[in-house]
Amino acid sequence: MESCRVAAEVMPGHEVDSKKVRWEELLPREFRARQEQTPIVYLPLGLCEPHGHVAAFGLDTFKAVWLCEQAASRLGGIVAPTQGYQIHETGYHRPWLKEVIGETNPNLGSVPPDVLLRMLLLQLRAFVNAGFRVAVILTGHHGNQADLRIVAEEVMQVRPIRIVTVSDPELARGAFDGDHAGRYEISQLLFIRPDLVDLTRVGDIDTSPLGRFAQGEDAAEASTEYGRAILEYSLDELERQIHAALPYEDAIDPLGIDETDEIWQRILARKGEWRTLSERNPDLAHES
Ligand SMILES: [Zn+2]
């Protein structure tokens, strides 16, 4: 989707290949050059969950990946391997699934909070030890971000890494209202991956044995231009939040596995705060 990408800023005379931003794709010399120029790492978090009959399961993942890759192209830095599984089924998720899916198999890629949060802690450890000074945790699955922030807070208590944790509807807040598989979300996938949206299926909610399958009421109003507007606004806001987290430290001591286990015990001690275990989530207005 080259036509959808924001043009990368090419620094004259600099040997960084600004087109390649994925950790998986970089050679050692390229990784070090990018990191030396901008020691920011971006972690996209998504999920496979129902987004109606009109859109692919991975909608949340595609939003997060797009924003991280565009930010890395624009600001520099490296995009870490995508976290494509997310917290679901616990706490407030359970009644939500019952309401929008019913008894149908949601074909869900979910993991419980203790698994996801411990994985995030170990991912942040990997980022510190790989030499990054700033981490951007961007979730396309809205509602879990308060719990992700608990992990980020506990890591920042022991290491001076700057961590920005945000969900995509938070980036668009004030300009666009988030939703689940409605005009807001479907428009974004239409812009990023039009091949993964089929608006002719919008009426399947009345005929399919799957029922509504979490489709938003205004999904039919989705448009590429609306998606572009949301994403460009969100990208500008992400850039603003990253700049607000700077400056970064010159060097950060590595995190050992024992010390990481101690951080995990502190996160577990805050289990009473985990929103993904709670029946109510003040962050949630059925978005994403
Ligand atoms: Zn979504």
| 177/34 Cα distance (integer angstroms) | 35
For ligand 1, the distance from its centroid to the CA atom of residue 20, given in whole angstroms, is 27
Question: 284 pLDDT band (50/70/90 cuts)?
Answer: confident
* Residues in CB range of 257: below 8 A, 6 or more apart: 125
pLDDT at residue 285, as a whole number = 57
Comparison of pLDDT for 35 and 283, the residue scoring more: 35
Top-ranked range on mean pLDDT: pick from 95-104, 124-133, 242-251: 124-133
pLDDT of 14 higher than 50? no
Distances (CA, A) of 18 to 13, 27, 213: 12, 13, 40
Please tell me the distance between residue 96's alpha carbon and the centre of ligand 1 in angstroms.
13
Q: Per-residue confidence at 17, pLDDT binned at 50, 70, 90? A: low
Q: How far apart are the first and last CA of the chain?
A: 23
In sequence order, which residues have a C-beta less than 8 Å from that of residue 282 and are 6 or more positions away?
A: none
**Cα separation of 172 and 188, whole Å?**
12
d(CA 78, CA 52): 32
Joined tokens for residue 88: 């679901």
Positive or negative, the Cα torsion across 157, 124, 161, 130?
Answer: positive
Say how many Å lie between the CA of residue 280 and the centre of ligand 1. Answer: 19
Distance 147 CA to ligand 1 centre (A): 18
Neighbours of 99 (CB within 10 A): 11
Q: How far is the CA of 122 from the centre of ligand 1 (A)?
A: 25
Using the mean position of ligand 1's atoms as its centre, give its distance from the Cα of residue 276 in Å: 16
In one-letter notation, the amino acid at residue 81 is P
The 10s digit of each residue's pLDDT in 253-276 is 999 999 999 999 999 999 999 998
Q: What separation in Å is there between the alpha carbon of 38 and the centre of ligand 1?
A: 30
Whether residue 142 contacts residue 283, with contact meaning beta carbons closer than 8 Å, is answered with yes
One-character DSSP codes across the chain: -GGGSPPPPPPTT----TT--BGGG--HHHHHHHHHH--EEEEEE------TTTB-TTHHHHHHHHHHHHHHHHH--EEPPPB--EE-SSTTHHHHHHHHTTTS-----EE-HHHHHHHHHHHHHHHHHTT-SEEEEEESSTT-HHHHHHHHHHHHHHS--EEEEEEHHHHHTTTS---SSSHHHHHHHHHH-GGGB-GGGTTHHHHSTTTTTT--TTGGG--HHHHHHHHHHHHHHHHHHHHHHPPPPS--PPPPHHHHHHHHHHHHHTGGG-GGGSS--TT-SS--
Determine the average pLDDT of the residues in 184-211: 96
Residue 57's pLDDT is 98
Q: How far is the CA of 55 from the centre of ligand 1 (A)?
A: 10
Asked if residues 143 and 287 have their Cβ atoms less than 8 Å apart, the reply is yes
9 pLDDT above the threshold of 80: no
From the CA of 288, how far away is ligand 1's center (Å)?
3
Ligand 1 centroid, distance to 103 Cα (angstroms) = 20
Calculate how far, in angstroms, residue 51's C-alpha sits from the geometric centre of ligand 1: 6
Residue type, 224: T
pLDDT at position 231: 98
* pLDDT reported for residue 100: 86
Per-residue pLDDT, averaged over 30-43, amounts to 97
CB atoms under 10 Å from CB of 94, counted, come to 12
Residue 74 Cα, ligand 1 centroid: separation in angstroms? 25
pLDDT for 283: 79
- pLDDT category at 206 given cuts 50, 70, 90 is very high
* Confidence check: pLDDT of 126 > 70: yes
Burial class (CB in 10 A: 0-12, 13-18, 19+), 178: buried
CA 287–ligand 1 middle distance (angstroms): 7
CA of 163 to the centre of ligand 1 (A): 23
Reported as a single tens digit per residue, the pLDDT across 85-111 is 998 888 888 888 888 888 899 999 999
**Residue 12 has what pLDDT?**
40
Residue 58 Cα, ligand 1 centroid: separation in angstroms?
8
19 falls in which pLDDT band (50, 70, 90)? confident
**Second-level CATH architecture of 39-277:** 3-Layer(aba) Sandwich (3.40)
The residue extents of the domains of the chain are: 39-277
Report whether pLDDT(68) > 70: yes
